[in-house]
Amino acid sequence: MLPTALMAPLLMLIVWWVVTRSLAPVSRVRRQLAQRQSADLEPVSEDGLPDEIRPLVHELNGLFDRVREAFEAQKSFVADAAHELRSPLAALKLQVQALRRAGDDETRARAASRLEAGIDRATRLVEQLMVLARQQATAASGTQPQRVALAAIARQAVGELAEAAHARQIDLGLTSVDEALVRGYPDALDMLVRNLLDNAIKYTPPGGTVNLEIASVDGAPLLRVDDSGPGIAPDERERVLDRFYRIAGSDASGSGLGLPIVKAVAVLHGATLALLPSPSLGGLRVEVRFLPAA
């Protein structure tokens, strides 16, 4: 037998070789990550990794996927926003030119009125873009949700939109209120309710009705908005949830962001969103079914 003095260095050499060989894939991953460009979010290869390290790299790849999706969504949002802002800004420029050419007070007043309406439309579009951006920031912030009373949000929204409904001769009502609790984000839920009501008021003809209902179905909160407007054709119901999509031939001048904001908030809360014919008012019914508050 070899003396202990000779065995110890040999054993240390063997241990060093085994550890180095085992950690070689980890070192390879470390070098790959160190050499990456900041925009490179491709998955890290898990080939040859020890079983103890593989779950960590798998989670890292999942993080890369989520960040890449967020970047793509941001790029798409910026491109869409720039495209949508181009049209109202071009229209404003034409209206300013028409105002300059106006030769009498009456023509000048009409041009000024059209210019003011154009500014209002552009302002609404920018406000909706800001709302959507805030919602995306909420989704990415990691803020913890809280227990929220839908009824309180509904009452406040109906009260604050009552004047707008009255101006359009719309009967806006809160027909049924269940004190349902939702686990979520108060500001985002407020966006959802306001956009649903604003959309219904905007597309319902004068003299029509918009009803908001908060109910509880099998312990799960349900928010329902019915209107007596023209409704949405079945083949359009999915498309109106896309950003900036507008129904052809619609008289209302919307930004095409109201229902997409509702969809984004519903997704954030794990809720299901459904667009249906309204059996009570004949127009559109929008239902948002939330998960029970834990």
Kindly state the tokens that stand for 100. Answer: 């300059």
Question: Given CA atoms 190, 196, 201, 202 in this order, what sign does their dihedral have?
Answer: positive
- With a cut of 70, which residues of the chain have pLDDT below it? 1-11, 14-25, 38, 48, 73, 77, 80-81, 83-84, 87, 128, 132, 135-142, 248-255, 294
Report the helix count and the strand count for the chain, using DSSP H and E.
6, 7
Closest CA to 126 of 240, 261, 242, 257: 257
pLDDT in tens, 10-24: 667 766 666 666 656
Kindly state the tokens that stand for 252. Answer: 């209302």
Architecture per CATH, 146-289: 2-Layer Sandwich (3.30)
- Residue 84 has a pLDDT of 63
- Report how far Cα 40 is from the mean position of its chain's Cα atoms: 25
User: CA 275, 279, 282: angle at the middle one, nearest 5?
Assistant: 85
One-character DSSP codes across 48-68? T--TTTHHHHHHHHHHHHHHH
Give dist(CA 199, CA 187) in Å, integer. 18
Cross-strand pairs, 220: 217
Residue pointed to by tokens 């129904």: 247
Q: Where are the domains of the chain?
A: 36-142, 146-289
- Residue 6 has a pLDDT of 63
Residue 98: Cβ within 10 Å count: 16
- Residue 259 has a pLDDT of 86
Give dist(CA 221, CA 291) in Å, integer. 7
Residue pointed to by tokens 């985002």: 188
- Residue 71 has a pLDDT of 74
pTM over the 0.85 mark: no
CB 284 within 8 A of CB 278: yes
Rg for the chain (alpha carbons), in Å?
Answer: 28
- Report how far Cα 12 is from the mean position of its chain's Cα atoms: 58
